[in-house]
Amino acid sequence: MITLKKINTKKEMKQFVTFPFSLYKDNKYWVPPIIKDEVDNFDPNKNPVFENADAQFFVAIRDGKIVGRIVAIINWFEIEKQQIKKMRFGWFDVIDDIEVTKVLLAKVKEIGLANNLEYIEGPVGFNNLDKTGVLVDGFDHIGTMITWYNHPYYKDHLEELGFVKEKEYLENKFKFDKVDKVYFDRISKIIKRRFKLKALDFTKTKDIMPYVDEMFDVFDKSYSKLSSFVPISDAQIAFFKKKYISFINPEYIKFVVDENNKVVAFAIVMPSFSEALQKAKGKLFPFGIFHLLKARKHAKDVTFYLIGVHPEYQNKGVHAIIFDQYTKTFGPLGIDNCIRTPELEDNEAIKKLWENFDPVTHKRRRTYKKSIV
């Protein structure tokens, strides 16, 4: 018999967070989170996302053991301001038993019906800065710290239960040595001169902070037309600064500003922490922090986390300035692979941005949708 348990205590939340550690034990492609960070991420007193969202956490139990988990999410901005009557679910993990999946998703549906919502979509997080999508192709590639990994049967469970594909995301990578450094140096100079733009490079995190709010303004404007877009609040921006900016190599963050020193384009790249997180096994101490710091300094693979160009400057070649900055930063560091975060398959603007890099699609992921009315 399968029973459902709602998570109410910190001890139970730790059990919720650590369930995938047993589900993916000995899987060389799964990248574990830092347990404390994940628990804090789900704490309404620490994560400002809960100012505009509600979440209920559940585990499925059989014979005294956790056999599945899920988060039922309501983003109130999305529902009240955007009039999108969506019930979200995320952090979905389950053994290969469709009856467990059925029980978990039935609870999500129940909550959606109680709040007069029209359909379920997932797996997704709270907003655009969270992980998204169930992996449907590329199971033999290591994950990243900003994507979910899952077993191949997840897709089968969802489809058997009547869920249909809603959005398709591609994950691409390219070799750094494929980047034409001479071309981007030449084009960058032309674009900077033509539009009176300037590239900003950093060596200290404190010098980045004054630009982060403007960066998110560009982020909102450049991504607002995407079907998955939900705005990021000021409190969430502050949370992001504390959680990510202070840990990312300052030289991996690039801005382009106009003649008035206003941000018109940005990019945030991270060293690949995947193997370091696997070695840390969910804990920063006593040794996990050393693996992460080593990766921060020596990783030869990097992940393009966020990139955006203000709509007024799109299709004008401004991205060439950013890529020129990275060629000059990454060349001396011996960077090998450049890995991109999941991007919507129908995002034509992003396709054009990367088309000269000879990208290879190595993973695909999807969100799935089902009506609940």
Determine the pLDDT at residue 227. Answer: 62
Q: Are residues 192 and 213 in the same domain?
A: yes
The residue assigned the tokens 């969506």 is 86
Q: Are residues 102 and 198 in the same domain?
A: no
The residue out of 112, 146, 170 marking a domain boundary is: 170
Q: Are residues 272 and 240 in the same domain?
A: yes
- Degrees to nearest 5, angle at CA 195 with 193 and 200: 75
Look at 350 and 253; give whichever has higher pLDDT: 253
57-69 residue pLDDT tens: 999 999 999 999 9
CB 342 within 8 A of CB 312: no
Q: Are residues 232 and 114 in the same domain?
A: no
Say if residue 224's pLDDT is above 90.
Answer: no
Q: Are residues 187 and 336 in the same domain?
A: yes
Q: What is the mean pLDDT of the segment spanning 246-252? A: 91
Say if residue 228's pLDDT is above 70.
Answer: no
Q: What is the mean pLDDT of the segment spanning 302-323? A: 93
The one-character DSSP state at 96 is S
Range with the largest mean pLDDT of 344-348, 354-358, 359-363:
359-363
Report yes or no on 368 lying in a domain: no
pLDDT band for 232, please (50, 70, 90 cuts). confident
Report yes or no on 325 lying in a domain: yes
Single pTM value for the model: 0.94
Determine the pLDDT at residue 318. Answer: 94
Report yes or no on 372 lying in a domain: no
Beta bridge partner(s), residue 360? 173
Chain-centroid distance of CA 30 in Å reads 15
pLDDT band for 158, please (50, 70, 90 cuts). very high
Q: Are residues 112 and 258 in the same domain?
A: no
Report yes or no on 371 lying in a domain: no
Beta bridge partner(s), residue 319? none
Q: What is the mean pLDDT of the segment spanning 220-233? A: 76
Q: Are residues 207 and 144 in the same domain?
A: no
Cα gap 88→185, rounded to integer Å: 44
Q: What is the mean pLDDT of the segment spanning 321-328? A: 96
The residue out of 154, 170, 186 marking a domain boundary is: 170
Burial class (CB in 10 A: 0-12, 13-18, 19+), 50: middle
71-124 residue pLDDT tens: 999 999 999 988 999 999 999 999 999 999 999 999 999 999 999 999 999 999
Q: Are residues 223 and 166 in the same domain?
A: no
Q: Which CATH number covers residue 82?
A: 3.40.630.30
Say if residue 373's pLDDT is above 80.
Answer: no
Q: How many CB atoms lie within 10 A of CB 6?
A: 11
The residue out of 124, 146, 170 marking a domain boundary is: 170
Say if residue 297's pLDDT is above 80.
Answer: yes
Report yes or no on 282 lying in a domain: yes
Coarse DSSP helix, strand, coil percentages of the chain, rounded to the nearest 5 percent:
40, 25, 30
Say if residue 43's pLDDT is above 70.
Answer: yes
Q: What is the mean pLDDT of the segment spanning 23-37? A: 96
Report yes or no on 291 lying in a domain: yes
Q: What are phi and psi of 329, to 5 degrees?
A: -80, -45
Average of per-residue pLDDT values in the chain: 94
Q: Are residues 102 and 162 in the same domain?
A: yes
Q: Are residues 283 and 351 in the same domain?
A: yes
**Shortest CA distance to 344 belongs to which of 133, 140, 196, 156?**
133
Q: Which domain holds residue 312?
A: 174-363
Report yes or no on 370 lying in a domain: no
Say if residue 13's pLDDT is above 90.
Answer: yes
Range with the largest mean pLDDT of 88-92, 143-147, 221-225, 346-350:
88-92
| Amino acid in the structure at residue 322 | I
Total tally of structural domains belonging to the chain: 2
User: What percent of the chain has pLDDT above 90?
Assistant: 84
Q: Are residues 159 and 290 in the same domain?
A: no
Report yes or no on 95 lying in a domain: yes
Q: Are residues 110 and 254 in the same domain?
A: no
- DSSP secondary structure of 240-258: HIIIIITTS-GGGEEEEE-
